[in-house]
Amino acid sequence: MEEDMDEGQTQKGCLECCIKCLGGIPYPSLIATILLYAGVALFCGCGHEALSGTVTILQNYFEVVRGPVDSLDVFTMIDIIKYVIYGIASAFFVYGILLMVEGFFTSGAIKDLYGDFKITTCGRCVSAWFIMLTYIFMLAWLGVTAFTSLPVFIYFNIWTICQNATILEGVTLCLDPRQYGIVPIGEGKTVCTGSEKFYKMCESNELDMTFHLFVCSLAGAGAAVIAMIHYLMVLSANWAYVKDACRMQKYEDTKSKEEQELHDIHSTRSKERLNAYT
């Protein structure tokens, strides 16, 4: 009987501990972190593969040749963008962890463990810093989203021409990479409807796959923007919580001081009355 009671108390203690742990998780920050990681992974992974597909299309169908090592051509720009993608993936992986830690330290569980003073001294400055940094990153991701929409627009035009090439008989449509600044003006790398290269490119998997990869990359950038907005909402709520905690701490300090002063005055008067009586 006693063993059953001990087991029941142990299970009850474990259940209370699990409930307390689950209650201390900052779920809004967790949702925003998952959305940020999903968006960054989608943008970086699909964007990297789409850029590789672009290189294949330019070399196989437009016959664009890679320039010397010291020259700044379209292939060098693609390589630079790939390195930027590597930096974005690693940087926002770390930033998501930092925002999760900030969410934990402004949750109610940390308040119960360490009290309001620990939160209001360091958490107030940290919350303000993260709000400013997240707002800057949100603007940066808006710019990345706008930049990612450009290749989506270009590939949509190419895909539309391929779809309508058989419908418009007798009309010659040409794809000229010079219109988009991909090759210098002096180089003519046009591919027109009716040519063998045009039909090979339209029937190839590279064009269709690269177009859809850029669309997924654009969706990932949009998800990152939504995650940044969600983070701003969470950080603003944490800032308000820390600010209220600071005010409450000041109120409690003032109240305790006044009560202590009243207690001291009452004690002093009692002593004076006792001395006068004796």
Render pLDDT for 5-51 as a digit per residue (tens, 0 to 9): 455 555 556 777 777 666 667 788 889 999 999 999 999 999 999 99
49/210 Cα distance (integer angstroms)? 8
Position 230 scores a pLDDT of 93
pLDDT digits (tens, 9 = 90+) for 155-171: 998 888 888 776 666 67
When the pLDDT of each residue in the chain is averaged and rounded to a whole number, the result is 79
99/75 Cα distance (integer angstroms)? 36
pLDDT digits (tens, 9 = 90+) for 90-106: 999 999 999 888 887 77
Position 164 scores a pLDDT of 77
Q: Tally the residues of the chain.
A: 278
Beta bridge partners of 175: 191
Using an 8 Å Cβ cutoff, are 148 and 217 in contact? yes
65/139 Cα distance (integer angstroms)? 36
Distance of CA 222 to the CA centre of its chain: 10
Per-residue pLDDT band for 1 (boundaries 50, 70, 90) equals very low
Torsion of CA 221, 226, 231, 233, to 10 degrees: 160
Mean of the pLDDT values across residues 224-245? 84
Position 163 scores a pLDDT of 80
pLDDT at 4 over 70: no
138/223 Cα distance (integer angstroms)? 11
Measured between alpha carbons, how far is residue 223 from residues 35, 41, 118 in Å? 7, 10, 34
Q: Domain segments of the chain: what residues?
A: 3-276
